Amino acid sequence: MSDPKKTNAAASELERKPENAPHAAVRHRLGKRAWLASIAASLAFLGPGLISANAGNEAGSIATYASVGARYGYDLLWLIVLITVALIVVQEMAARAGVISGKGLAELIREHYGVRWSALAMLSVLLANLAITISEFIGIGVAGELLGVPRAVAVPLAAALIWLILVRGSYRIAERVFIAFTVVFFAYPVAAVLAHPHWAAVGHRVLVPHLHLTSQYVLLAGAVVGATITPFMQLYLQSAVSERGVRVEELRRERLDVTIGAIFANLVAAFVIIATAAALHEHGVTKVSSAADAAKALRPFAGRYAKELFALGLLGSSLLAAAILPVTIAYVLTESFGTEKGIGRRYREAPTFVATISILITVSAAVALIPDLPIISLLVGIQDVNGILLPITLFFLWRLSSNDELMGRWRNGRIFGALAALTIVCVSALSLTLIVVALGRIFGI
């Protein structure tokens, strides 16, 4: 019989031999793969919250932030902080209502308040969202030209790609593509760093509000709110959560998705303001007449690749929103009338849904090819319209998420409900101010 002590010693010696080193390397690689897999699994919950918040940073929003940075420098950064809190509150209500009810916002409005109120909510969204969809394809054309691709090529290609994803793909495929689009938003922080801003001044303006008692300041502040908390974001988010099939036990993850999405989206907004403030405002350029001008103006002050980075960010944000907006309008229409819906559905399965997406993409792309449109004034004006229409969507969302019968124990609590109500009051007051300022301008007051 063999001696156990000798056998154990031989085994120990075998483990120490160089030829067994590859086993350690294999274990290291497996451990690394497991670590990467755990990160991927932990990020798998990211979806509707991240997508909807970043879709709000579309071409019109980027143009608005660029106008703010060029005209007022860092002076409106404090507003971004407040809006971030408000956006988290609003998006959380939409996600929670979608998870608990399993239905979109337009469908709940129809069921609880009737067809008339549903039609009002639908029309208020359609008016603004059709114009925004056009602006996204304009943004795609502008970004394409900045990157050396003619508008006549970039816009039709983008329209065809988006249509294929939405009509011939599936929800899961579309969601992955949308998340991939958000990667290009990192171009804006890089552009901001290249512009060499005064970070001490940035920090001061973030913490200390600096107000201007002018109608232009009020209009741009309203445009920032309308650009950052856009009605289509809540409508898409609730419908997407419902279509994704998020369960009640996954609500905590969805809240984290919403929070991360809101913070990331508003950081992007802040970096666009910082980049244009440092590169344009501080060098005496206070007016931006087009998205192309904003990108080109960065180059002399922010370095060789600043224009390309700005253009890349504009392209990604425009592609994302150009896909989300037609889907949102299709959701609202089908939910308001109680017809079939769903990304990847064929025409025979969901005719209204597919037809709405197809018509919107075709019309928007065609209008975007019209030369010499007043791009920046159009885009900033659309954000003011969003700011005016936003209280309608927020009011219904707040009421429904506070409904005991619908939400049960998941309804708004007292503190959260009060915070949501305060958000609606502030947004409504700003909307009323925008209307007064707009009327004053019309009548020369």
> Of 338, 330, 294, 331, nearest to 314 (Cα)?
294
Model confidence over 327-378: pLDDT tens digits? 998 998 888 888 888 888 888 889 999 999 999 999 999 988 887 665 555 5
The rounded radius of gyration (Å) of the Cα atoms in the chain is: 25
Closest alpha carbon to 358 in 383, 392, 396, 330: 330
- pTM, rounded to two decimals: 0.81
At residue 124, the pLDDT reads 66
Enumerate residues 6+ apart whose C-beta is below 8 A from 79: 209, 221, 224, 225
- Write the CA distances from 404 to 74, 128, 394, 416, 436, integer angstroms: 43, 32, 18, 15, 37
> Looking at residue 297, what is its pLDDT?
63
User: Is 274 in contact with 77 (CB distance < 8 Å)?
Assistant: yes
Residue 157 phi, psi (nearest 5): -60, -45
User: Measuring CA to CA, how many Å separate 215 from each of 222, 229, 287?
Assistant: 10, 21, 16
pLDDT of 440 reads 66
- Which amino acid appears at position 156 of this protein? P
Mean pLDDT, all residues of the chain: 81
pLDDT of 39? 46
Q: Which of 354, 365, 328 is nearest to 160 (CA)?
A: 365
pLDDT of residue 97: 93
The tens digit of pLDDT for each residue in 79-134 reads 999 999 999 999 999 999 999 999 988 889 888 888 777 777 677 677 667 778 88
User: What is the pLDDT, as a whole number, of residue 443?
Assistant: 62
d(CA 213, CA 356): 43
Instruction: Name residues of the chain where pLDDT drops below 70.
Output: 1-45, 121, 124, 127-128, 289-304, 372-388, 434-435, 438-445
- CA 191 to each of CA 16, 208, 308: distance values in angstroms, whole numbers, following the listed order: 52, 24, 9
Per-state percent for the chain, helix, strand, coil, to nearest 5: 80, 0, 20
**Domains along the sequence of the chain with CATH:** 53-442 (1.20.1740.10)
pLDDT at 42: 46
pLDDT (tens digit, 9 = 90+) per residue, 377-392? 555 556 566 666 778 8
Whether residue 224 contacts residue 84, with contact meaning beta carbons closer than 8 Å, is answered with no
- Quote the CA–CA distance of 394 and 414 in Å, as a whole number: 17
Q: What is the 3-state secondary structure (H, E, C) of 162-198?
A: HHHHHHHCCHHHHHHHHHHHHHHHHHHHHHHHHCCCC
Buried-exposed string 81-118: b where 16+ CB fall within 10 A, e elsewhere: eebbebbbbbbbbbbbbbbbbebbbbbbbbbeeeeeeb
